[in-house]
Amino acid sequence: MTLYVNLAELLGARIEQGLYRPGDRLPSVRALSLEHGVSLSTVQQAYRHLEDQGLATPKPKSGYFVPQARQQPALPMVSRAAQRPVDISQWDQVLELISRPPGGDVLQLGRGMPDISSPTLKPLLRTLSRMSRRQEVKELSYGSLYGDPGLRAQLSRLMLDSGCQIAIEEIVTTTGCHEALSVAIRAVCEPGDIVAVDSPSFHGVMQALKGYGMKALELPTDPLTGISLEALELALEQWPIKAIQLTPNCNNPLGYIMPEADKRALLALAQRYDVAIIEDDVYGELAYSYPRPRSIKSFDEDGRVLFCSSFSKTLAPGLRAGWIAPGRYLQQVLHLKYMSTGMAAQLPQLALAEFIASGHYEPHLRRMRSQYARNRDCMIDWVSRYFPAGTRVSRPQGGFMLWLELPQGFDSQRLNRVLQPHNIQIAPGSIFSAAGKYRNCLRINYAGQPTPALEQAIRQVGECVADLLAEQQLVHNGEEVALTP
């Protein structure tokens, strides 16, 4: 990492911590040069880097200042309660989103891809490379159905950060979080059963429920605090719900963190009505606040919470390394895992165990949390600038996803078609609902570093949104327009 980037990150962290407040003058170029023993040009580069990220504003003959806080756009509306459980649709739209490989000519703003360019991943790459060269039979063997004991020992330690004291015998490694969620669903439900979910909800869970012949009951969800416990209690009284599935920490796609009191109350409801909770914590380590929020699993005393996570969002999805702590459902999970993928790949597990044990994981997490928090502010600023007035925007408390809500009648699937000539793809809101709601919403990814090219892409999306809304208004007024695809 270059000196100026190091210095820029240090100043950015001080701004985020409130040491420099909006409107404050930042240290002079000469003062920083003397303080850190770097050249004047290095400090100037650092300030330009901060300026690109929207964290510093130059004033002629006065130096650099922390920008004044912009007025935040309105939050998305609280989602409405579903009238009844429904079968899941939207597979065609999900397939369109996930079938295109990363990279290439298309900017995939809709994919759940972390930034894998961070230099803090290099020790992991070196470990993988070294292990692949040393030609040990152990790395090519089946391993245990539970997973590598060294990695599970590290996972047991990592879960302490979320308040969980889980023995390694209670942890099973999986091929990513998707497999963890899939075996969790099948461990507690059968075809025809009803699963209560937050709404909007991760499309992978929706499609798993569809594939297993189950129904989803969407719960009203606040963009800052999560599901309505009152609505959940009414649903539990009215319907034979078998499980509650949600992402309470750094939710995907809304980004909220459920308050601790609500997590306790949710668990109490699950105990009263004897239902399982399937907790997706894949983004939990990416909370911008420290210490990270506690999981629902940390309050679980009777084993009804199945805790699912992976390294796909914190490190890289290509590792395909996840895990599940299934509580009382351990034997069912082991059986289901044996019937599906069997043992998880050995080499990634061994490399991850060494990477974590060597102390590389925590510095990486600190870097990514800081980066994603800055990127969130930058992306919200761009959306405020380039999208039509009245666009509602989530305020994620972790992760790297932004949820946008446009006026009723807007069609985000059509927006994707309009964006095709510009080689840009977003995630249409309808794939985050069992019944195809949220067509007027979309999800965009802000994991990558803010660049002029990315800013131009957001500007282009905003212009296309404005054009479609203008056409929609003309049609509403009865005027003829030449509609785009």
Distance between CA atoms of residues 4 and 8, nearest Å: 6
The reported pLDDT for the residue numbered 478 is 59
Protein fold of 91-100+121-357? Aspartate Aminotransferase; domain 2 (3.40.640)
Burial of residue 98 (number of CB atoms within 10 Å: 0-12, 13-18, 19+): middle
Distance between CA atoms of residues 345 and 366, nearest Å: 27
Q: List residues bridging with 108 in a β-sheet.
A: 425
Give 315's contacts (C-beta < 8 A, 6+ positions apart). Answer: 114, 116, 121, 124, 352, 364
Distance between CA atoms of residues 320 and 345, nearest Å: 8
Give 190's contacts (C-beta < 8 A, 6+ positions apart). Answer: 214, 242
* 440-444-445 Cα angle (round to 5): 165
Give 227's contacts (C-beta < 8 A, 6+ positions apart). Answer: 198, 219, 220, 221, 246, 258, 266
| 3-class SS of residue 403 | strand
Distance between CA atoms of residues 322 and 160, nearest Å: 17
The reported pLDDT for the residue numbered 253 is 96
Comma-separated ranges of CATH 1.10.10.10 domains in the chain: 3-65
Phi, psi (deg, nearest 5) at residue 194: -110, 135
Write out the E strands in 410-449: 424-425, 427-428, 441-445
Could you tell me which of 290, 250, 285 has the C-alpha nearest to residue 402? 250
Q: List residues bridging with 325 in a β-sheet.
A: 307
Give 426's contacts (C-beta < 8 A, 6+ positions apart). Answer: 109, 110, 412, 415, 416, 419, 442, 443, 444, 461
45: enclosing H helix or E strand = helix 40-52
Distance between CA atoms of residues 190 and 71, nearest Å: 48
| CATH code assigned to 363-476 | 3.90.1150.10
Distance between CA atoms of residues 451 and 54, nearest Å: 11
The reported pLDDT for the residue numbered 254 is 97
Distance between CA atoms of residues 193 and 186, nearest Å: 10
Over its length of 485 residues, how does the chain's per-residue pLDDT go in tens digits? 578 888 888 888 888 777 888 888 999 989 888 888 889 999 888 888 887 667 888 888 788 988 876 677 888 988 876 767 776 666 777 677 767 766 678 899 999 999 999 999 999 999 998 887 776 666 667 789 999 999 999 999 999 999 999 999 999 999 999 999 999 999 999 999 999 999 999 988 888 898 899 999 999 999 999 999 999 999 999 999 999 999 999 999 999 999 999 999 999 999 999 999 999 999 999 999 888 999 999 999 999 999 999 999 999 999 999 999 999 999 999 999 999 888 888 999 999 999 999 999 999 999 999 899 999 999 999 999 999 999 999 999 999 999 999 999 999 999 999 999 999 999 999 999 988 899 999 999 999 999 999 999 999 999 999 999 998 876 666 554 444 45
CA dihedral 310, 315, 319, 323 (to 10 degrees): -10
- Annotate 14-44 with DSSP letters as a single string: HHHTTSS-TTPBPPPHHHHHHHHT--HHHHH
The reported pLDDT for the residue numbered 485 is 52
Comma-separated ranges of CATH 3.90.1150.10 domains in the chain: 363-476
The reported pLDDT for the residue numbered 483 is 43
Protein fold of 3-65? Arc Repressor Mutant, subunit A (1.10.10)
The reported pLDDT for the residue numbered 98 is 66
| Token pair belonging to 313 | 């969002």
Q: Which residues of 105-132 are buried (b: 16+ CB within 10 A; e: fewer)?
A: eebbbbbbbbbeebebbebbeebbeebe
Rounded to a whole number of angstroms, the CA Rg of the chain reads 23
Write out the E strands in 414-458: 424-425, 427-428, 441-445
Comma-separated ranges of CATH 3.40.640.10 domains in the chain: 91-100+121-357
| Maximal CA-CA distance, the chain | 72
Q: Amino acid letter at 71?
A: Q
**How many Cα atoms are found within 13 Å in the side-chain-facing hemisphere of 478?**
0
Task: Give pTM, 2 decimals.
Answer: 0.83
Burial of residue 62 (number of CB atoms within 10 Å: 0-12, 13-18, 19+): exposed
Distance between CA atoms of residues 26 and 87, nearest Å: 56
Per DSSP, 217 falls in state E
